[in-house]
DNA sequence: GACCAGGTAGCAA
DNA sequence: TTGCTACATGGT
């Protein structure tokens, strides 16, 4: 196991680990105390951890440091939590009033950079479900269909690969992961990923448009899920996913952006929230959801 | 029991 | 194109 500490002052604008990982943008991290989306703070000595890519990465936060352990190095942590993004720079460009409110309400949330396939699967399962349940389902998928990883004397379940999911069946996915009707989508997408893994896997050099149209070919992926993967895994920071919460805020606060067309709303918010639409969407989503739900 | 949750696929017009 | 609806499941 490797380990290390990152002084918080080396991270421009800082980071709030809890808000970053429990804001509903990623469902691939868990806590060693078993809680998640409950509002409770991470107790002393407990960790956030993720096991995607057959690797383990554990993180916790003190007043002065990010402390990490894992089978991977510190570079992975910087990438996964986008610690190179300068939040101070991003804040300085925010002009929209609601966005300003959201940024000051809960500062230091960072966009994540999730691995592609687990991100895709997790958002396919997110359709018409609340965040707590989405998160539980990823744990069930890992425990029932993924491999295990031993590190530091402990055993962790790893997020299943497309091959592992495809060697299961829709019925089994439905029963063991409680996926409901989404089991067919997850299964079909796993099969498709297996077939053209080389083509679709790393889309580093593709344009936003071509990446999105590739994503839309997967079963269970529509505009919103595609946008989430573009933003939370593929690094397209200009994308604004429109879900029920953002739609509500458009109706109440941005009448000029209201439309029946997904693309029209999304484009309109992209312009309104420039030059950091993706970040703004993340903060606004967190802000309105926590206020209206009184969830933490 | 109704309603909602980070929606999508499959139709009809 | 746009507009409807069914879809599993768990929580309020």
- pLDDT of A204-242, one tens digit each? 679 999 999 999 999 999 999 999 999 999 999 999 999
Which residues in window 51-80 of A are less than 7 A from strand B by Cβ? none
Here the tokens at position A124 are: 């396919």
CA–C1' distance A239–B10 (Å)?
27
pTM: 0.96
Q: How far is the CA of A188 from the C1' of C4 (A)?
A: 25
Main-chain phi, psi angles of A69, to 5 degrees: -140, 160
Question: Is the shortest CB-to-strand distance from A160 to strand B under 7 Å?
Answer: no
Average pLDDT over chain A reads 95
Q: What is the pLDDT of residue A295?
A: 44
| Positions in chain A whose pLDDT score sits under 50 | 295-296
CA-to-C1' distance for A181 and C8, Å? 5
- How far apart are the C-alpha atoms of A272 and A266, rounded to whole Å? 10
Count of alpha carbons within 13 Å of A167, Cβ hemisphere only? Answer: 8
Look at residue A202 in the predicted model and tell me its pLDDT.
53
Which tens digits make up the pLDDT trace of A177-194? 999 999 999 999 999 999
Q: Which nucleotide is nearest to A126 (CA to C1')?
A: B6
């Amino acid at each position: 196991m490797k380990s290390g500490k990152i002084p918080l002052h080396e991270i421009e604008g800082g980071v709030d680990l809890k808000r970053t990982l429990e804001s509903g943008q990623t469902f691939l991290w868990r806590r060693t105390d078993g809680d998640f989306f409950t509002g409770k703070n991470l107790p002393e000595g407990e960790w956030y951890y993720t096991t995607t890519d057959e690797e383990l990465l554990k993180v916790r936060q003190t007043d002065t440091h990010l402390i990490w352990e894992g089978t991977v190095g510190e570079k992975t942590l910087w990438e996964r939590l986008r610690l190179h993004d300068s939040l101070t720079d991003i804040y300085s460009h925010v002009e929209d009033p609601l966005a300003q409110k959201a940024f000051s309400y809960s500062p230091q949330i960072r966009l994540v950079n999730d691995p592609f396939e687990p991100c895709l699967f997790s958002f396919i399962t997110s359709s018409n479900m609340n965040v707590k349940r989405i998160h539980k389902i990823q744990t069930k998928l890992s425990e029932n269909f993924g491999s295990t990883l031993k590190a530091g004397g402990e055993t962790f379940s790893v997020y299943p690969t497309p091959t592992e999911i495809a060697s299961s069946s829709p019925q089994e996915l439905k029963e063991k992961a409680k996926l409901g009707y989404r089991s067919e989508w997850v299964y079909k997408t796993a099969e498709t990923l297996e077939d053209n893994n080389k083509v679709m896997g790393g889309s580093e050099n593709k344009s936003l448009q071509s990446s999105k149209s590739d994503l839309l070919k997967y079963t269970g992926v529509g505009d919103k899920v595609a946008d989430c993967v573009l933003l939370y895994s593929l690094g397209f920071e200009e994308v604004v996913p429109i879900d029920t919460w953002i739609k509500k805020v458009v109706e109440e606060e941005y009448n000029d952006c209201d439309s029946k067309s997904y693309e029209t709303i999304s484009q309109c918010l992209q312009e309104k929230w420039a030059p950091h639409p993706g970040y703004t969407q993340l903060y606004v989503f967190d802000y309105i959801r926590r206020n209206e739900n009184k969830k933490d």
